[in-house]
């Protein structure tokens, strides 16, 4: 089978099943627990030949005081190589929630210059519900890959850049957290983190872009984004710790909105470093 070049940010489970034996395809399982989960609900099965992409450890800067921080270029490249990923790999990434953490991996690879990647729409739940085969989770034991990415810093914003965005009328910060969290009506799931939101930001809960654990149709996503004053603006996506903000980035990409970035530290960083 010919090597794959993935042209779209989202692929269906039917598409993946039909291309599962492509020579350069690598399937990544990016499942992780939600911070709001009281106990682990991770699945013990995977799509055949999937490799576990450990966002929390291997692909985060664990020396950073805030969770899920973007790793260095060297760390990302080494970890990707250990998963057998090559520079010409076609990557499909999924998670066991439907679409949750998989969008973060898609955004990370794009930030490191790799465009041949897509999110599996509906993730493992859609794969299973369609009757496609699974296997027990296993650690990757194969050869190292040749992946060598170059970090493009414009994909992510740091604290200082977000402070500038707050007062820039050409920027719009969009928060992906649930409405009650955005409005400070409930406690944050991270102990000791104050409630509230970044000044001048607006709220678009990531769940609004989903329908039964899959992304909504492109026309629906466009209509949702059109309810905000985004014309000619640079969009900065935030959330709790940089995970679900990437779902908004995925939705924006599907809607043809390109001038976007993700606030890596998100509310965890902003809420700790500021008092209002």
Whole-angstrom CA distances from 204 to 48, 72, 263 are: 34, 29, 15
214-215 vs 234-238, strand pairing mode: unpaired
Query: What residues form DSSP beta bridges with 214?
Result: 211
CB burial of 228-258 (b: ≥16 within 10 Å; e: otherwise) equals: eebeebebbbbbbbbbbbbbbbbbbbbbebe
Pure H helices in the chain: 13-18, 73-82, 102-111, 123-129, 159-166, 179-182, 218-225, 245-254, 266-273
Cα gap 107→98, rounded to integer Å: 17
**Catalytic residue IDs:** 239
Q: Quick check: helix, strand or coil at residue 155?
A: helix
Residue 153 in tokens? 């810093």
User: DSSP letter at 154?
Assistant: G
Rg (Cα) of the chain, in Å, rounded?
18
Residue 245 in tokens? 């903000």
């Amino acid at each position: 089978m010919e090597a794959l070049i993935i042209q779209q940010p989202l692929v269906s489970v039917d598409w993946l099943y039909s291309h599962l034996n492509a020579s350069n395809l690598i399937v990544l399982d990016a499942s992780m627990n939600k911070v709001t989960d009281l106990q682990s609900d991770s699945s013990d099965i995977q799509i055949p030949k999937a490799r576990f992409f450990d966002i929390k450890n291997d692909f985060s800067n664990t020396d950073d005081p805030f969770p899920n921080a973007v790793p260095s270029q060297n760390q990302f490249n080494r970890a990707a190589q250990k998963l057998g990923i090559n520079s010409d790999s076609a990557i499909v990434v999924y998670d066991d929630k439907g679409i949750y953490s998989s969008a973060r991996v898609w955004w990370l690879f794009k930030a490191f210059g790799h465009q041949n990647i897509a999110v599996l729409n509906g993730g493992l739940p859609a794969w299973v519900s369609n009757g496609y085969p699974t296997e027990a989770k296993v650690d990757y034991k194969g050869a190292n890959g040749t992946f060598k990415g170059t970090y493009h810093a414009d994909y992510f914003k740091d604290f200082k850049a977000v402070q500038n965005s707050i007062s820039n009328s050409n920027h719009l910060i969009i928060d992906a957290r649930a409405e009650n969290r955005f409005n400070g009506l409930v406690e944050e799931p991270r102990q000791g983190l104050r409630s509230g939101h970044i000044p001048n930001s607006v709220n678009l809960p990531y769940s609004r872009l989903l329908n039964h654990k899959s992304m909504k149709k492109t026309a629906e996503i466009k209509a949702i984004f059109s309810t905000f004053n985004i014309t000619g603006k640079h969009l900065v996506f935030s959330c709790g710790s940089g995970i679900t903000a990437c779902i908004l980035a995925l939705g924006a990409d599907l809607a043809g909105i390109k001038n976007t970035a993700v606030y890596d530290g998100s509310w965890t960083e902003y809420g700790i470093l500021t008092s209002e």
